[in-house]
Structure 1
Amino acid sequence: MATSAEQMWNTYAQAHDLTDKTFQTRWFGDQENPEEIRDLTTKILAKDKISTSRPLAYYASEGEQIPQPGDYYVLLDAEMHPVGIIETVVSELIPFLRVSAEHAYNEAEGERTLADWQARSLTKFTEQMKKFDRNFSTNDPILCEVIKLAYKE
């Protein structure tokens, strides 16, 4: 097992001739909820969860870069240890009410239906944005991202 995210990335990048690429670390779920991170990480490593979404305003509020196709991330588990490498395949802005049933299904959470995704996401995004003293509206743009598992330990 790789001892660090950097070591995992360097080994992967050399093996795949990606010397011109860089990486960031990333986990899925609320860091205060390790069980959620474990669940989502397991789904990503099983190639079941292949999409994710966040309000566009989240990225500006957190000062995070918007994922772009071709970006690589070392995936961290609930203990913040590297367990794999993912690549962003698609990154597109879509109004909340226009997110597709396919995207909702591929997030691999809840009932995997659009109605369930909308209900859960409305609650989650509203709470996320409250942390930044912002309101969330169903007219707001959502960054819908498709990811690919490129490597796992």
Structure 2
Amino acid sequence: MTNDKAIQAFWNDFKKRQGFTHNNYQAWAFGNTPDMADELADLVVKGIKTATTSARELYEKGEPLPQVGEFNMILDGSGDPVAMTRTVVVETLPYRLVTWEHAWHEGEGDRTLAYWRRVHEAFFKQEYAEAGVTFTENMPCVCEVFELVYKKGD
């Protein structure tokens, strides 16, 4: 569930502050539960979480991959906007080759690769199962690094 009116107001405020005239942004929440969305959005707002990973094979047909320079509005578990990020790096690689550095930038748990693998494997196994496919360590991951450029209350 998203709060379309709050999303538009948040974007308009950010756009005005930046002097933008375009409306090129995506609005989304992390994870698959409201609690997870709240937790991860909070890490973004605090500047701890500066990366994310998605399963390339689970993108909808025709859905574009993240692109360097694009803006993303991060939503909390209630669908309300809390931050704007700008993508600075995008690379696709097999799950088994995701690095400790990317895990650190994801900012979750103790920020180790072991923690990242434990929680992401569980997450991806569930997502793949729901899509009717099997997770493997060779699954292509879209690894995105971003910078926090604006947050609620700025």
TM > 0.5: yes
SS in 2 for 1:134: coil
Aligned counterpart, 1:128: 127
Aligned counterpart, 2:6: 4
Cα separation, 2, equivalents of 1:120 and 1:11: 35
Aligned counterpart, 2:22: 20
RMSD between aligned alpha carbons?
1.7
Q: Give the CA deviation at 1:116.
A: 2.1
Supply the AA of the counterpart residue of 1:131: E
1:4-153 matches, cutoff 5 A: 4-30=6-32, 33-60=33-60, 64-153=63-152
- On the 8 A contact 2:84/2:151 being kept in 1, the answer is yes
**TM-score between both structures, scaled by the size of structure 1:** 0.87
Q: How many residues align?
A: 148
**TM-score between both structures, scaled by the size of structure 2:** 0.87
Q: Give the CA deviation at 1:48.
A: 0.2
Q: Give the CA deviation at 1:120.
A: 2.1
Q: Give the CA deviation at 1:65.
A: 2.6
Aligned-pair identity (%): 32
- On the 8 A contact 2:44/2:83 being kept in 1, the answer is no
Cα separation, 1, equivalents of 2:52 and 2:151: 19
Supply the AA of the counterpart residue of 1:27: A
Cα separation, 2, equivalents of 1:89 and 1:18: 19
Supply the AA of the counterpart residue of 1:60: E
**Segment of structure 1 superposing worse, 133-142 or 20-29:** 20-29
Cα separation, 2, equivalents of 1:82 and 1:117: 25
- Structure 2 unaligned segments of length 5 or more: list them: none
Q: Give the CA deviation at 1:21.
A: 4.8
Cα separation, 1, equivalents of 2:6 and 2:142: 29
